Amino acid sequence: MPRIGVTPIHEATALRSLVMSVDFRELEEGLTRLESIDAARVVNQGDKITEIHIIAASDKPSKQVARDVQSLAMARYGLPIDHRVISVVKISPQHLDLTSSARAALRAVSESPNGTRTTLEVTLRHDDRDHTGTATGPTVASARLRLIGEATIDAIERTFETMPPIALDSIAVTSVGTRDVVVAVLVTVGQRGSEDLNVGSSIAAGATDEAAVKAVLNALNRRLAALTE
């Protein structure tokens, strides 16, 4: 029964406005921060969620993972989700460990200032070898994150010679709840020549330089894992 003074039409309009205001990529990011979820993909048609695909560790029942998805969507976005659109795939922790170990790992971030210009160096380790990328720009605080992001991309391209061209679209520190998070957006070329946007993030925890590198790596994790297979 509709509430007094609110017609069903008005209720439906309000619900559509609420759903349209939700950034589905932001919902994906929120889901991957749940302890029970390793990866998430939200499929939508316009303002309607048609599928949610979840990769989770094997130590939690699929029904509980699905309830976690519903709870986060409702609590954070006021968004009701039908459990029937949620698909959960569970992967053993051993498999996840093997995947992560095949990726490049951060070794160091260093800086070589020279007057009004500075060079940021990012060193990655892969297969017991170090690869260093560099980026040079003005010695100003506002350019530092971008230089680190570009140096990380240079290091990745030196590490994986078959890596398709990468461009840094944007990188910034944002607040998520009470935490500072570095978010990086990278542009790569898709299989059919289309523009692919890759988004990665890492909690700063007082180490913004390292978080910037990890955000770029996080954005490219799937591509890097494919290159090492």
Q: Are residues 208 and 118 in the same domain?
A: yes
Tell me: pLDDT of 157 over 50.
yes
Q: Are residues 62 and 117 in the same domain?
A: no
- Domain presence at residue 2: no
Q: Are residues 140 and 34 in the same domain?
A: no
Residue 95 or residue 165, greater confidence: 165
φ, ψ dihedrals at 145, nearest 5°:
-60, -40
Query: What is the C-alpha to C-alpha distance for residues 182 and 163, in angstroms, rounded to an integer?
Result: 23
Closest CA to 198 of 226, 229, 159: 226
Q: What total number of domains does the chain contain?
A: 2
Tell me: pLDDT of 113 over 90.
yes
- pLDDT, average across residues 146-173: 91
Confidence of residue 133 (pLDDT cuts 50, 70, 90): very high
What would the pLDDT profile of 51-68 be if each residue is shown by its tens digit?
A: 998 877 667 788 888 999
Q: Do residues 109 and 148 lie in contact, with contact meaning Cβ atoms separated by under 8 Å?
A: yes
Q: Do residues 45 and 103 lie in contact, with contact meaning Cβ atoms separated by under 8 Å?
A: no
Last residue of a domain, one of 52, 75, 97: 97
Q: Are residues 114 and 219 in the same domain?
A: yes
The two three-digit tokens of residue 57, written as one number: 């560790």
Q: Are residues 88 and 154 in the same domain?
A: no
Query: What is the C-alpha to C-alpha distance for residues 139 and 113, in angstroms, rounded to an integer?
Result: 7
Q: Are residues 186 and 209 in the same domain?
A: yes
Instruction: Output 178-181 pairs: Cβ under 8 A, ≥24 positions apart.
Output: 179/203, 179/204, 179/205, 180/204, 180/205, 180/208, 181/211
- Domain presence at residue 48: yes
- Domain presence at residue 3: no
Confidence of residue 78 (pLDDT cuts 50, 70, 90): confident
Q: Do residues 98 and 80 lie in contact, with contact meaning Cβ atoms separated by under 8 Å?
A: no
Q: Are residues 147 and 198 in the same domain?
A: yes
Provide the whole-model pTM: 0.56
pLDDT in the model for residue 206? 82
pLDDT in the model for residue 164? 79
Confidence of residue 225 (pLDDT cuts 50, 70, 90): low
Last residue of a domain, one of 78, 97, 116: 97
Q: Are residues 56 and 143 in the same domain?
A: no
Tell me: pLDDT of 131 over 50.
yes
Tell me: pLDDT of 119 over 90.
yes
Tell me: pLDDT of 80 over 80.
yes
Closest CA to 172 of 152, 205, 147, 145: 145
Domain, as residue range, for 67: 8-97
What would the pLDDT profile of 181-219 be if each residue is shown by its tens digit?
A: 999 999 887 666 677 788 888 888 888 999 999 999 988
Q: Are residues 39 and 118 in the same domain?
A: no
Q: Are residues 157 and 111 in the same domain?
A: yes
- Domain presence at residue 1: no
Last residue of a domain, one of 97, 118, 134: 97
Q: Are residues 61 and 108 in the same domain?
A: no
